[in-house]
Structure 1
Amino acid sequence: MKVPTKAPLAVALVGALALVACGSSTSDSAGSGAGSATTLSGEPIKIMSIQAMSGPSDTYPGLPAAVQAAAAAVNKAGGIKGRPLEVTVCDDQFDPNKGADCATKAAQGKYLFVTANSSTGDRYMPILEKAKIPSIGEVPSSASELKSPYSFPFGSGAVNIAGGGTACGKLGKKDPAVAVVDIAAGRNSASFFGIGLKPFNLSINKTVPIAPTASDLTTATATLTSGTTDCIDLVVGTTQATKLLLALSQAGSKATPAYGATVIEDKMLKTLGDAANGLVLVGSTPPAGDTSIPAIKQFNAELDAAGVSADIRSEGALTAWATVHLVAQYAQKLPTIDGESLANALSTAGEINFSPLPKVDFSKSIKVLFEGNRIFTTAVYFSEIKNGTRTPLFDNTAFDVLTSS
């Protein structure tokens, strides 16, 4: 069934306010710009954003900045039962041990919830689960996040990859290929592309591995552009995606590339320039710049008020921002404001319909390739990059990757 819009790899595998990393003092800037912190009282309600803000990985400052901006707006509106929200941004440095340190800090500090864009979920999620602290809004990138009853994702990397197949089919493509990062997780994830192709009676005609540290993509590009390939799903990190898109453009490729929208910020599109034109982005929310949707207009207004650059906004930032507002609404009704109570409330809420997040029911997971994973939505939205701007496709309608309808 089509889901019309009303009113959030990190990459496909797995994104200005003062940001505070673990090991430093906890941020108290959640009320910055709101001017209402003096009217709030009581013990602060602590929330954490786990991100790689330094180290060898790509960094996405827009996601924690969106959490900060949402918390500032909540505080301006009176906080949660008069208590202020306090945000800590914990830098996991792309290091599993640092990710575990972040979770330990959250457990010791009795944080209400964590939202994350991190590759270290297998280390932090067991610690959060033991402490009964939910991780909310993240795109799962680890087995622990896909299994833990304290994981509440509003999207899925697997579904975004499958959505690349849906995009190819909806656009009438006939010869799809997939470029995958040449590690076990990447090779295994490539099969999700076929899920989105299946309703169109299409299959993956070409799989091209890309070494995660490759700098010369000439051979891979030549393989991808050979024959009649007309659509390419990119199952690689953003650094390699940028290199590959530039190489495809230089090779004169006419094939339509598709990629997960979660952490695609405008600064990346500016780096790509004309090479970004025609790129189809797949995400669990409508485009983060579509201010015709009231909730997304509010998102942009709150980030503007917080001084967050438009260059670092993304669908992942939109999801993180909306997650804070959703939790604030639920927390207002909790008899005890703690992680366990919040997790129970989300688990028993039935269908949650909170624009711009996708509709989910956290008591009902959806089978994609196998049972048991915490995937709660298989709906995706599409946008196409035109002259550096996200342009909604298909009238901003969401489609189910399992059925294409």
Structure 2
Amino acid sequence: MKVRSKAPFAVALAGALALAACGSSSSNDGSAASGSATKLSGEPIKIMTIQALSGPSDSYPGVPAAVKAAAEAINKAGGIKGRPLEVTACDDQFDPNKGADCATQAVQGKYLFVTANSSTGDRYMPILEKAKIPAIGEVPSSASELKSPYSFPFGSGAVNIAGGGTACGKLGKKDPAVAVVDIAAGRNSASFFGIGLKPFNLNINKTVPIAPTATDLTTSAATLISGTTDCIDMVLGSSQASKLLQALSQAGSKATTAYGATVIEDKMIKTLGSAADGLVLVGSMPPASDNTIPAIKQFNSELDAAGVAADTRSEGAMTAWATVHLVAQYAAKLTTIDGESLANALNTAGEIDFSPLPKVDFAKPIKVLFDGNRIFTTSVYFSEVKNGARTPLFDNQAFNVLGSS
């Protein structure tokens, strides 16, 4: 993996890892892992993941597992300036107050950065920003994350939603519809679908709201496929997306269905069985199973070494993994290793080209619907589920959801 920017950054990696639940911690003694000749010493460099690991929501244990795997590999290679990485996995329990508690813990512990896949960004991001601790590689789902100068996302749920429109257009569909979770954030996000449709002179012809607590989606499926609907984008949590796919399959739907790839793990695809066939996944990176790409092969190798189950890997986990490696390269060149210095380095790096992450320039946000958002890439990749496996679409090429080359 390389970083091409205004200034080159060398890799300096290794050390000891602590993977902790929020509010508790465990760590090794700082010595190098078995097989490494490097002895780690000094104050640990702390990083945190924030996501729902319990509570009334989808859980994403694959993200902290991937962060742990990256940290273990970095520590084995020598740490950051000989200092060990220490990881805390903070469970926000799908509770904004818990998300704020996670951020407070990061501030009190003087963490270097946070990465997140959480719905509580409006609570944790202002706390991190005030303490000058960056959120890097997070999946932004709140206004705070999309505006804070301490937010450094490599992708965007909004762009993935727009990519659903791009998929419909490129596949020659003519009558698109969108299923959206019936909360303010979901209803607002549905408009991004139209951005991807626009270059193909298509409009959203049907919007079907789904209550966030709904479990029987039979009626919603029937409403979606009534008439001539031939393409459906799902703006839903992964649990409801699974239920909708099952309901659509039972209803005999022939419409193409698109969904963001960030949290889709192979175990979900296996559970869905034939109901997942034909599902188009939209993401800011190629599929996490694509070992023809060296960086993705490294991702899978490191997770194998850490004992992470193959069917729990996702684009979100790969983003978090790559973010840790990227930060290690930048931190190794900092005079003072702290959040503010790291944020300054990222903001002044120019174009960052670090496979498998999308290319970004954190000094140049891209206008999508309006100015001021922390969106830095509008390119997406597509894959299709066939017989329980993901298959890249369109020769695994990236496409701009805004329609330009």
User: For 2:259, what is the secondary structure of its paired residue?
Assistant: strand
Query: Are 2:288 and 1:261 equivalent residues in the alignment?
Result: no
Go from structure 1 to structure 2 and tell me whether the alpha carbon gap of 1:49 and 1:299 turns closer, same or farther (over 3 Å shift): same
Go from structure 1 to structure 2 and tell me whether the alpha carbon gap of 1:18 and 1:229 turns closer, same or farther (over 3 Å shift): farther
Query: Are 2:21 and 1:24 equivalent residues in the alignment?
Result: no
How far residue 394 of structure 1 moved from its aligned partner, in angstroms, is 0.7
Measured in 1, the distance between the counterparts of 2:68 and 2:22 equals 15
In structure 1, the partner of 2:13 is: none
Q: Match of 1:350, as an amino acid?
A: G
How far residue 306 of structure 1 moved from its aligned partner, in angstroms, is 0.1
In structure 1, the partner of 2:308 is: 308
TM (norm. structure 2) is: 0.93
Go from structure 1 to structure 2 and tell me whether the alpha carbon gap of 1:364 and 1:76 turns closer, same or farther (over 3 Å shift): same
In structure 2, the partner of 1:353 is: 353
Q: Match of 2:301, as an amino acid?
A: A
How far residue 212 of structure 1 moved from its aligned partner, in angstroms, is 1.1
Task: Note if contact 1:34-1:73 (Cα within 8 Å) is conserved in structure 2.
Answer: no
In structure 2, the partner of 1:119 is: 119
Q: How does 1:148-187 map to 2 (within 5 A)?
A: 148-187=148-187
In structure 2, the partner of 1:403 is: 403
Measured in 1, the distance between the counterparts of 2:316 and 2:373 equals 21
Query: Are 2:132 and 1:132 equivalent residues in the alignment?
Result: yes
Measured in 1, the distance between the counterparts of 2:341 and 2:382 equals 35
Measured in 2, the distance between the counterparts of 1:19 and 1:279 equals 34
Task: Note if contact 1:30-1:85 (Cα within 8 Å) is conserved in structure 2.
Answer: no
**1:112-138 CA-partner distances (Å, limit 9, x unpaired):** 100011111111111111111100001
Gaps of 5+ in 1: 1-16
How far residue 25 of structure 1 moved from its aligned partner, in angstroms, is 2.1
Q: Match of 2:351, as an amino acid?
A: E
Measured in 1, the distance between the counterparts of 2:279 and 2:215 equals 21
In structure 2, the partner of 1:7 is: none
User: For 2:145, what is the secondary structure of its paired residue?
Assistant: helix
**1:303-350 CA-partner distances (Å, limit 9, x unpaired):** 000000011100000000000000001011111111110000000000
How far residue 28 of structure 1 moved from its aligned partner, in angstroms, is 4.4
Task: Note if contact 1:283-1:315 (Cα within 8 Å) is conserved in structure 2.
Answer: yes
Overall identity of the aligned pairs, in %: 85
In structure 1, the partner of 2:75 is: 75
How many residues are aligned here?
Answer: 389
Q: Match of 1:220, as an amino acid?
A: S
How far residue 35 of structure 1 moved from its aligned partner, in angstroms, is 4.8
In structure 2, the partner of 1:199 is: 199
Task: Note if contact 1:287-1:315 (Cα within 8 Å) is conserved in structure 2.
Answer: yes
Query: Are 2:128 and 1:104 equivalent residues in the alignment?
Result: no
Measured in 2, the distance between the counterparts of 1:221 and 1:141 equals 25
User: For 2:93, what is the secondary structure of its paired residue?
Assistant: coil
Go from structure 1 to structure 2 and tell me whether the alpha carbon gap of 1:277 and 1:357 turns closer, same or farther (over 3 Å shift): same
Q: How does 1:357-368 map to 2 (within 5 A)?
A: 357-368=357-368
Go from structure 1 to structure 2 and tell me whether the alpha carbon gap of 1:28 and 1:104 turns closer, same or farther (over 3 Å shift): farther
Query: Are 2:283 and 1:283 equivalent residues in the alignment?
Result: yes
In structure 1, the partner of 2:54 is: 54
Q: Calculate the aligned-residue CA RMSD, in Å.
A: 1.6
In structure 2, the partner of 1:220 is: 220
Task: Note if contact 1:31-1:73 (Cα within 8 Å) is conserved in structure 2.
Answer: no
Taking CA–CA contacts closer than 8 Å with sequence separation of 6 or more, which of the two structures ends up with the larger relative contact order?
1
Q: Match of 1:51, as an amino acid?
A: Q
User: For 1:352, what is the secondary structure of its paired residue?
Assistant: coil
Measured in 2, the distance between the counterparts of 1:140 and 1:34 equals 37
User: For 2:21, what is the secondary structure of its paired residue?
Assistant: coil
In structure 2, the partner of 1:296 is: 296
